[in-house]
A and B are shown apart, each in its own frame.
Chain A
Amino acid sequence: MALTEQQQRAYVASQAADARLNVELQTEDMVLNIGPQHPATHGTLRVVARLDGEQVVWADVVCGYMHRGYEKLTEVRTYPQITTLVNRIDWLSSFANEVPFILAAEKLMEIEAPPRAQYIRTILFELARIANITLFIGTMGADLGAITPVFYAFRDRERILNQIEAVTGGRFHPNFDRIGGLKDDLPRGWIDETKNAMVRVREFCDELEELLMGNEIFQARTRGIGVIPSDIGLSYGLSGANIRASGIDWDLRRDQDLPLAWKDLDWKVWTHPDGDSFARFWVRLQETREASKMVDQMLDGLPAGSIQAKVPRIIKVPAGEAWVHTENPLGEMGYYVVSQGGLGPFRCKIRSASFNNVSVLPWLLRGAYVPDIITILASLYFILGDIDR
């Protein structure tokens, strides 16, 4: 448990105050199970909360209801087969899951994809980010009781998914990344269509900024709710927009040198000093807009040439170990691949963002009120497949 001394003292004091109140009013704690089947958890996550009246005095997260054992499965698959598995970890931004794994395999094989492949990879990566966060923007509204944004989100995400489908053939599970490049090049007319879609994404962001973020009820329910101080966020291993909303300027797209196109682009990492639910929503909304601008830049600067480096027909990865992590829509996602020179990895450790992001919940929910649990769960934005793998 990473608690500062001040927080510990505050906690003990609050417990003592509660206990006094309990003696006076003769109340009893009530255990409330949120989930495993609860619409606000967007899957099968169980949050056990002990309540005193309306206030949470203790909370714990029970995950693993959707464990599919991907780390073990990778040991009995070949490298080209694994991309189709890791698609299903964070199912809303599947392409983004493939990229770090393929980069780790390429690092071991000491090959690098040609520039055009790197650009197309980054474009699809950012499209996956937009598709993922668009849905977050909608469901955050739905969890807070606003029904309209979720329909808008599904409507506008459809355009992004159509673009992904037109190039990869799959709306959710592209399986498009190959070691040393990509499966195929872009179909004709795709660049113009994607630019139109990006205009619509920015319109959607403007619309939601006005409709949802400017709404008084939304602000009242999110401002100051679920505040994560930056040191707590760091000690729990939060990543992605959750840590940037706590004022930490940390983005793996900018902070490391990967063979992808981000280093050639002109863009900004958005941070927010507050660390509350509103800040997390705000940062994600800005990131969506920033991602659409990045896609525009990459479409303009798309280099010509081949999309596949020379690789052997049967891919054997030399013995060694490699760790590659990228900034996925939900946060840091990394693969630690251990190879012994075979057709598949000997061991593959998957670090997915949501698992660490929900680990802060026991700390965060303490002292929160019951309606705010939903706000906090929605604003942390996890995907169950990403937690349980």
Chain B
Amino acid sequence: MPDIPGKGLVKGLGVTLRTMLQPAVTTQYPREKETPATRARGVIALHQENCTVCMLCARSCPDWCIYIEGHREKAPPRRAGGRPRQVNELDRFDIDYALCMYCGICVDVCPFDALFWSPEFEYSEERIADLLHDKDRLSEWMETVPEAPPLEVGAQAAKK
């Protein structure tokens, strides 16, 4: 190319100059934090009262990282004079986040709305065994579960 020598260099330095005058896009993570999207799959929260120990989530988990144990209990009848009811009580509900693939199938299949996604992500541990969250820890995440965002124009609300 019959060009002025050093034209490419000047062009490149021009880019440098332009970029230098722009604000930085980097977020200095531990000091400033970005808010994740509302739908972000950060951690699974458990609403203990809704769980009926039906085991659907544990069975549909692709890597079997949900551990559930429960027992049957007699509950007082709904109406006076009725028979006592049988209810399932939850003894253990553990999710091993060291195994979890964050696919969200358990949240989808839960027929009683006991599992929810929360966008929280800061729960790293020094020991891998501590990533096993028990039911109390999972219930604590319930506070961070956001409302589902409104849908875009033209969307049809899902039937329940």
Give residues in A with beta carbon < 8 Å to B: 77-78, 80-81, 83-85, 116, 148, 155, 158, 162, 165-170, 173, 175, 183-191, 210-211, 215-217, 302-308
- Asked whether, in the complex, the Cβ of B62 is within 8 Å of the Cβ of A306, the reply is no
Distance of A63 Cα from B117 Cα, bound (Å): 38
- Asked whether, in the complex, the Cβ of A80 is within 8 Å of the Cβ of B105, the reply is yes
Distance of A153 Cα from B37 Cα, bound (Å): 22
- Asked whether, in the complex, the Cβ of B37 is within 8 Å of the Cβ of A186, the reply is no
- Asked whether, in the complex, the Cβ of A187 is within 8 Å of the Cβ of B101, the reply is no
Binds A, one of B38-46, B70-78, B85-93, B128-136: B38-46
- Asked whether, in the complex, the Cβ of B37 is within 8 Å of the Cβ of A84, the reply is no
- Asked whether, in the complex, the Cβ of B40 is within 8 Å of the Cβ of A169, the reply is yes
- Asked whether, in the complex, the Cβ of A304 is within 8 Å of the Cβ of B40, the reply is no
Q: Which residues of B contact A302 (CB under 8 A)?
A: 154
- A305-B60 contact given A173-B102, A187-B149, A216-B1, CB 8 Å threshold: no
B15 within 8 Å of A by Cβ? yes
- A304-B154 contact given A81-B60, A85-B62, A215-B8, CB 8 Å threshold: yes
Q: Determine the residue in chain B with the shortest Cβ distance to A219.
A: B1
Give residues in B with beta carbon < 8 Å to A: 1, 8, 11-12, 15, 25, 36-41, 60, 62, 101-105, 108, 117, 149-156, 158
Can you list 21 A-B pairs with a CB-CB distance of less than 8 A? Answer: A81-B62, A84-B62, A84-B103, A84-B105, A85-B62, A116-B154, A158-B25, A165-B39, A169-B40, A169-B117, A170-B102, A173-B103, A175-B105, A185-B151, A185-B152, A186-B155, A188-B153, A215-B12, A216-B8, A217-B8, A304-B154
- Asked whether, in the complex, the Cβ of A185 is within 8 Å of the Cβ of B105, the reply is no
Q: Which residues of B contact A83 (CB under 8 A)?
A: 103
Instruction: Determine the main DSSP class of B at the interface with A.
Output: loop
Q: Which residues of A contact B151 (CB under 8 A)?
A: 185-188
Distance of A217 Cα from B37 Cα, bound (Å): 41
10 shortest A-B CB distances, which residue pairs?
A: A304-B154, A84-B103, A185-B155, A186-B152, A169-B39, A187-B149, A81-B62, A166-B37, A169-B41, A188-B150
- A307-B155 contact given A148-B15, A165-B39, CB 8 Å threshold: yes
Partner of A303, one of B39, B105, B154: B154
Q: Which residues of B contact A191 (CB under 8 A)?
A: 152-153
Distance of A360 Cα from B25 Cα, bound (Å): 39
Partner of A170, one of B25, B41, B60, B153: B41
Q: Which residues of B contact A85 (CB under 8 A)?
A: 62
Q: Which residues of A contact B15 (CB under 8 A)?
A: 148, 211
- Give the Cβ gap from B92 to chain A, nearest Cβ, in Å: 23
- Give the Cβ gap from A176 to chain B, nearest Cβ, in Å: 9
- Asked whether, in the complex, the Cβ of A165 is within 8 Å of the Cβ of B40, the reply is yes
- Give the Cβ gap from B110 to chain A, nearest Cβ, in Å: 13
- Give the Cβ gap from B1 to chain A, nearest Cβ, in Å: 7
Q: Which residues of B contact A185 (CB under 8 A)?
A: 151-152, 155-156, 158
Distance of A78 Cα from B37 Cα, bound (Å): 29
Partner of A188, one of B36, B108, B152, B158: B152
- Give the Cβ gap from B32 to chain A, nearest Cβ, in Å: 15
Q: Which residues of A contact B150 (CB under 8 A)?
A: 187-188
Distance of A162 Cα from B40 Cα, bound (Å): 10
- Give the Cβ gap from B36 to chain A, nearest Cβ, in Å: 7
- Asked whether, in the complex, the Cβ of A305 is within 8 Å of the Cβ of B102, the reply is no
Q: Determine the residue in chain B with the shortest Cβ distance to A171.
A: B40
Partner of A175, one of B103, B149, B154: B103
- Asked whether, in the complex, the Cβ of B155 is within 8 Å of the Cβ of A169, the reply is no
Q: Determine the residue in chain A with the shortest Cβ distance to B149.
A: A187
Distance of A158 Cα from B62 Cα, bound (Å): 29
Q: Determine the residue in chain A with the shortest Cβ distance to B104.
A: A175
- Asked whether, in the complex, the Cβ of B156 is within 8 Å of the Cβ of A307, the reply is yes
Q: Determine the residue in chain B with the shortest Cβ distance to A178.
A: B108
